[in-house]
Amino acid sequence: MKYTPLSSRDSMGFSAVETIVAASVLLIVTLAVAGVLQSSQWLARSTSDQVHATLLLDETSEALQYLRDSSWSTHISPLTLNTPYYLVREASGYTLSSTAPSTPYYVTVTFESVARDGDGILDAAGTDDSGSRLATVAVYRSSDDLLITDGHVLVHDSHEN
Amino acid sequence: MKTKTQGLVLIEMLIYIVISVVLIAITTYFILSAYHLYSDTTVRSQADRVGASIMNQIVRETREGVAIASASSTFNTPSGAVTITTEGADVEFFLSNGRLMWEEGASSLALNPDTHTVTHFYLTQLTTPVSTGVRYEIGITYQTRAGSETRYYTGFSILRQSYE
């Protein structure tokens, strides 16, 4: 019997089922690629937030020392404990305000009391040290109030001013 | 038995070509969009790396400084400059044609690449009764598909040796 090549047979083209399957495969691949792109965009934004937050944490730590150096009795001591204040940059320096600034990121500073034992070592069961404050610094993204990172700074009334 | 041979007629060929061109155009559009998105993401990430690197170096050098040389420093302008007196050679930071320059003695180095120009270098000297510090604002401008963008980075450092 003579062999008949497939290309010469009567059946030609794609059936409807084959077309639907091919389109579905193409759609799945496209969605997968789109998902990867979206994830990379999210990762890039998250990394950028971390960079800015780290710089802001460092700046806030220095700013707290600046406020301490300026006057403990004016800038630190009167602030209410366990209440978040916003770090605000001004032309003349820094302040801690109850109003959030209009910036892409904002920083909150919350002071807690510090207790020490008779030897001056930090001890939660010790006596309250009015010349020290434990500041919790938190950096948020303003668009959605997302907490990016936080840290702690121990501030002392070193200059007794 | 004679088998029936068939091929493509002209109409079918033209339809196949049109469909193929449309599919290739759509695919090319998505590929180019993905490439541009990747390119923009990369240049923005590099801006963050450059900004953080510059700020970390400036803050560190300032923290180790003894005093600010006011005569050769420029504050409160977008094209600022600062000379930090140290125990060794003085350290200078200043703008030169979009490059933020670091100089210490005879050594000189640009802290940012050509692709990311520093267009804003705003310095504020902050003085307290017991210390001196400098606040830095750096603006880095780069090109994306949509045009130029600028990102700002801030830092503040107290000269540890300025304490009396």
Segment B64-84 shows an average pLDDT of 95
Nearest by CB to A59, from B3, B4, B154: name it: B154
Closest-CA residue in chain B for A91?
B124
| Shortest CA gap B132–chain A (Å) | 9
**A12: pLDDT confidence band, cut at 50, 70 and 90?**
low
Report how far residue B116's alpha carbon sits from residue B137's, in angstroms, rounded to the nearest whole number: 16
Rounded to an integer, the average pLDDT of A20-47 is 86
pLDDT at B66: 92
Contact A8 B157 (CB under 8 A): no
**Whether A62 and B4 lie within 8 Å, measured CB to CB:** no
Residue A150 CB contacts under 8 Å (≥ 6 apart), including other chains: A57, A136, A137, A138, A139
> In Å, how far from its chain's centre is CA A143?
12
Q: For the segment B93-145, what is each residue's pLDDT rounded down to a tens digit?
A: 999 999 999 999 899 999 999 999 999 999 999 999 999 999 999 999 999 99
Range A76-86 average pLDDT: 95
CA B30 to chain centre: 27
Is residue B74 very low, low, confident or very high in pLDDT (cuts 50, 70, 90)?
very high
Q: Which residues of A touch B135 (CB under 8 A)?
A: 89
Q: How does residue B164 score in pLDDT terms, banded at 50, 70 and 90?
A: low
- pLDDT band for B5, please (50, 70, 90 cuts): low
Measured over the CA atoms of residue A126, residue A127, residue A128 and residue A134, the dihedral's sign is negative
Predicted confidence band of residue A1 (pLDDT cuts 50, 70, 90): low
A-to-B residue pairs, Cβ atoms closer than 8 angstroms: 77
Indicate whether this complex's ipTM tops 0.90. Answer: no
B6 pLDDT tier (thresholds 50, 70, 90): low
Distance CA A25, CA B78 (A): 55
Residues recorded for chain B: 164
Element (H, E) at B123: strand B117-127
Q: Nearest by CB to B6, which of A12, A62, A159?
A: A12
pLDDT at A77 over 70: yes
DSSP B5: P
* 8 Å CB contact of A8 and B4: yes
